[in-house]
């Protein structure tokens, strides 16, 4: 009883994973979210982990965000973080139709690894500032989100449009799902918790030794 109250309150940590094709702006979205900066260059990610604390609906939330590699050669750990994460941002670029098609594959992958269709997800179409390069319409994005039954935002990491909304929506999804499922989820997530610890510790170390 006591422990579920603690994890549901002040110290609740949310393990979020950013997914999407290479170059769609995953790292840029996270950087804008956390430090209000926009990286102009594309520096392909291997894996990075970030921590930040925010308030969502007047409740504190410690976010643990894993920034993943879009490029296939870096995806060795994918199954593991898909198992350990609690919420997923599936991102594509509105300027890149292929990345939109890949979004569906990411959803299927999550479903396969977790053996459930019921995982908190938010769909994001990034680079909305690049109107003249648009290849994917807003309507197509909304349609895919309807299929996924998840929230959808068109973001611009460059202009910081709808960045906070994405993370808030994902935490709300997780909270809502937890409220529906009740107490059982706490115990079940404990295994995922230690796996996540190991994963992010590894990535944080990597980040330090490479910079
Ligand atoms: N105009 C515009 N450019 C963006 C936006 N988001 C990202 N970019 C640019 O797109 C390029 C790729 O951004 P990244 O954040 O590195 O992409 P990524 O998805 O993390 O790529 P990988 O780590 O290789 O998977 C960079 O040059 C960014 O400056 C955006 O919203 N608008
Ligand atoms: Mg990146």
Q: Give yes or no for residue 2 CB within 6 A of ligand 1.
A: no
Tens of pLDDT along 2-42? 333 444 445 689 999 999 999 999 999 999 999 999 989 88
CA of 105 to the centre of ligand 2 (A): 18
In terms of phi and psi (left: phi > 0; alpha: psi -120 to 50; beta: otherwise), the region of 109 is alpha
Mutate to test the pocket of ligand 1, among 18, 21, 23 (most ligand atoms within 8 A of CB): 23
Atom of ligand 1 nearest to the CA of 44: 24
Helix (H) or strand (E) holding 8: helix 2-8
Residue 155 has pLDDT above 90, yes or no: yes
CATH class entry, domain 3-193: alpha beta
Ion ligand 2: residue ranges with CB closer than 5 A: 26-27, 45
Give the CA radius of gyration of the chain: 16
Mutate to test the pocket of ligand 1, among 42, 65, 73, 203 (most ligand atoms within 8 A of CB): 42
Q: Which residue do the tokens 């529906």 mark?
A: 180
Q: Which residue do the tokens 């938010």 mark?
A: 122
CA distance 10 to 176: 17
Tens of pLDDT along 125-137? 999 999 999 999 9
Helix (H) or strand (E) holding 14: strand 13-20
């Amino acid at each position: 009883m006591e422990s579920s109250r603690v994890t549901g309150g002040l110290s609740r940590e949310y393990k979020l994973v950013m997914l999407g094709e290479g170059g769609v702006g995953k790292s840029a979205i996270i950087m804008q979210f956390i430090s209000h900066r926009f990286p102009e260059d594309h520096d392909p990610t291997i894996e990075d982990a970030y921590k930040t604390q925010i308030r969502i609906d007047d409740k504190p939330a410690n976010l643990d965000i894993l920034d993943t590699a879009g490029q296939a050669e870096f995806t060795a750990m994918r199954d593991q973080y898909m198992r350990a994460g609690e919420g997923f941002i599936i991102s594509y670029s509105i300027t890149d139709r292929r990345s939109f098609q890949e979004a569906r594959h990411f959803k299927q992958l999550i479903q396969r690894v977790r053996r459930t269709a019921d995982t908190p997800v938010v769909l994001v179409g990034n680079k909305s500032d690049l109107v003249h390069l648009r290849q994917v319409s807003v309507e197509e994005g909304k349609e895919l989100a309807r299929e996924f039954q998840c929230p959808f935002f068109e973001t611009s990491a460059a202009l910081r449009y709808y960045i906070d909304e994405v993370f808030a929506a994902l935490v709300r999804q997780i909270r809502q799902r937890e409220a529906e499922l009740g107490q059982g989820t706490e115990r079940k997530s404990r295994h995922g918790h230690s796996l996540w610890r190991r994963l992010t510790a590894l990535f944080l170390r990597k980040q330090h030794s490479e910079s």
